[in-house]
Amino acid sequence: MGLPLMSNLFASPGRLLLANSLLAFSLAASVAPTTSLAQTTAAANPLLAPWAGPYGGIPPFDKVTVSQFEPALEAGMAQNLAEIQAIATNAQAPTFDNTIAALERAGQRLDEIQTVYGIWSGTLSTPEVQAIQRKMAPRMAAFTDQISQNEPLFRRVETLYNSPDKKKLTPEQQRLTWVYYNNFVRAGAKLDATAKTRLSAINQQLAGLFTRFSQNVLADETDSVLVLKAPADLGGLSASLRDDAANAAAARKVAAAGVITNTRSSIDPFLTYSDQRKLREKAWRMFVNRGDNGGAHDNNALITEILQLRAERAKLLGYKTHAHWRLDNTMAKTPEKAMALMEQVWTPAVARVKQEVADMQALAKKEGATFQIEPWDYRYYAEKVRKERYDLDQNEVKQYLQLDKMREGMFWVAGELFGFTFSPVSNVPVYHPDVKVWEVKDKTSGKPVGLWYFDPYARPGKRSGAWMNAYRNQERMDGNAVTTIVSNNSNFVKGKDGEPTLISWTDATTLFHEFGHALHGLSSNVTYPSLSGTSVVRDYVEFPSQVLENWLATPQVLQKFAVHYQTGKPIPQALVDRIEKAATFNQGFETTEFLGSALIDMKLHLAGDRKIDPDKFERETLAQLGMPREIVMRHRTPQFSHVFSSDGYSAGYYSYLWSVVLAADAYQAFTEGGGPYDKAVGQRLTKSIFSVGNTVDPADAYRTFRGRDPQIEALMRERGFPVTTSKTPKASKQPAAKPAGKKS
Q: How confident is the model at residue 495 (pLDDT cuts 50, 70, 90)?
A: confident
Of the candidates 185, 200, 110, 107, the one whose C-alpha atom is nearest the C-alpha of residue 146 is 200
The CATH number of domain 299-399+588-652, selected from 1.10.10.10, 1.10.1370.10, 1.10.8.50, 3.40.30.10: 1.10.1370.10
pLDDT value at position 19?
A: 36
pLDDT value at position 3?
A: 28
Read off the pLDDT of each residue in 426-431 and give the average, rounded to a whole number.
96
Helix axes 403-418, 505-522, angle to 10 degrees: 40
Of the candidates 537, 518, 399, 401, the one whose C-alpha atom is nearest the C-alpha of residue 466 is 518
Read off the pLDDT of each residue in 587-593 and give the average, rounded to a whole number.
97
Query: In the predicted model, is pLDDT for residue 38 greater than 80?
Result: no
Of the candidates 193, 195, 182, the one whose C-alpha atom is nearest the C-alpha of residue 154 is 182
Which residue type sits at 687? K
CA distances from 572 to 395, 552, 591 (A): 14, 15, 29
Read off the pLDDT of each residue in 370-380 and give the average, rounded to a whole number.
97
493 or 205, greater pLDDT: 205
pLDDT value at position 131?
A: 97
CB 67 within 8 A of CB 40: no
Query: In the predicted model, is pLDDT for residue 24 greater than 70?
Result: no
pLDDT value at position 734?
A: 54
pLDDT value at position 732?
A: 55
pLDDT value at position 496?
A: 80
Max CA distance (Å), the chain: 84
Give the model confidence (pLDDT) of 591-639 as tens digits: 999 999 999 999 999 999 999 999 999 999 999 999 999 999 999 999 9
pLDDT value at position 493?
A: 87
Q: Is 408 a catalytic residue?
A: no
Q: How confident is the model at residue 740 (pLDDT cuts 50, 70, 90)?
A: very low
What's the CA gap between 689 and 19, in Å, rounded? 20
Give the model confidence (pLDDT) of 142-175 as tens digits: 999 999 999 999 999 999 999 999 999 999 999 9
Q: Is the whole model's pTM more than 0.85, yes or no? A: yes
Give percent of the chain with pLDDT exceeding 70: 92
Which residue type sits at 298? D
Which residue type sits at 164? P
Give the model confidence (pLDDT) of 344-367 as tens digits: 999 999 999 999 999 999 999 999
How many helices, marked H, and strands, marked E, lie in the chain?
28, 7
CATH domain 403-570+657-719 topology: Neurolysin; domain 3 (1.10.1370)
Query: In the predicted model, is pLDDT for residue 13 greater than 90?
Result: no
Of the candidates 264, 331, 357, 323, the one whose C-alpha atom is nearest the C-alpha of residue 599 is 323
Local structure of 562: helix, strand or coil: coil
CB 4 within 8 A of CB 513: yes
In degrees rounded to 5, what are phi and psi of residue 107?
85, 10
Sign of CA dihedral 323, 178, 332, 665: negative
The strand pairing partners of 627, in sequence order, are: none
Label the pairing between strands 448-457 and 484-492. parallel
- Report the C-alpha dihedral over residues 85, 86, 92, 94, rounded to 10 degrees: -60
What's the CA gap between 466 and 507, in Å, rounded? 10
Label the pairing between strands 258-261 and 225-228. antiparallel
Read off the pLDDT of each residue in 476-501 and give the average, rounded to a whole number.
93
Helix axes 264-273, 277-288, angle to 10 degrees: 150
DSSP 565: T
The CATH number of domain 56-190, selected from 1.20.1050.40, 3.20.20.10, 3.20.20.150, 1.10.3720.10: 1.20.1050.40
Query: In the predicted model, is pLDDT for residue 130 greater than 60?
Result: yes
Query: In the predicted model, is pLDDT for residue 283 greater than 80?
Result: yes
Query: In the predicted model, is pLDDT for residue 731 greater than 70?
Result: no
Of the candidates 56, 176, 287, 120, the one whose C-alpha atom is nearest the C-alpha of residue 532 is 176
Average pLDDT, the chain: 91
CB 310 within 8 A of CB 321: no
Query: In the predicted model, is pLDDT for residue 22 greater than 70?
Result: no
Of the candidates 534, 539, 535, 537, the one whose C-alpha atom is nearest the C-alpha of residue 520 is 534
**Which one from 514, 593, 630, 718 is the annotated catalytic residue?**
514
pLDDT value at position 343?
A: 96
Read off the pLDDT of each residue in 130-136 and give the average, rounded to a whole number.
97
Of the candidates 269, 278, 223, 276, the one whose C-alpha atom is nearest the C-alpha of residue 244 is 269
Q: How confident is the model at residue 494 (pLDDT cuts 50, 70, 90)?
A: confident
CA distances from 502 to 125, 265, 317, 406, 490 (A): 27, 12, 49, 10, 14
Q: What is the DSSP string of 595-616?
A: HHHHHHHHHHHHSTT----HHH
Question: What would you report as the CA-atom Rg of the chain, rounded to the nearest whole angstrom?
Answer: 25
pLDDT value at position 729?
A: 54
What's the CA gap between 219 and 216, in Å, rounded? 5
In degrees rounded to 5, what are phi and psi of residue 535?
-80, 60
Query: In the predicted model, is pLDDT for residue 329 greater than 70?
Result: yes
Residue spans of the domains in the chain: they are: 56-190, 224-289, 299-399+588-652, 403-570+657-719
Query: In the predicted model, is pLDDT for residue 695 greater than 60?
Result: yes
The reply to whether 56-190 and 403-570+657-719 are identical in fold is no
What's the CA gap between 600 and 654, in Å, rounded? 10
CA 731 to chain CA centroid, Å, is: 21
Q: How confident is the model at residue 497 (pLDDT cuts 50, 70, 90)?
A: confident
Read off the pLDDT of each residue in 255-275 and give the average, rounded to a whole number.
96
Task: Give residues with Cβ within 8 angstroms of 436, minimum separation 6.
Answer: 424, 430, 453, 454
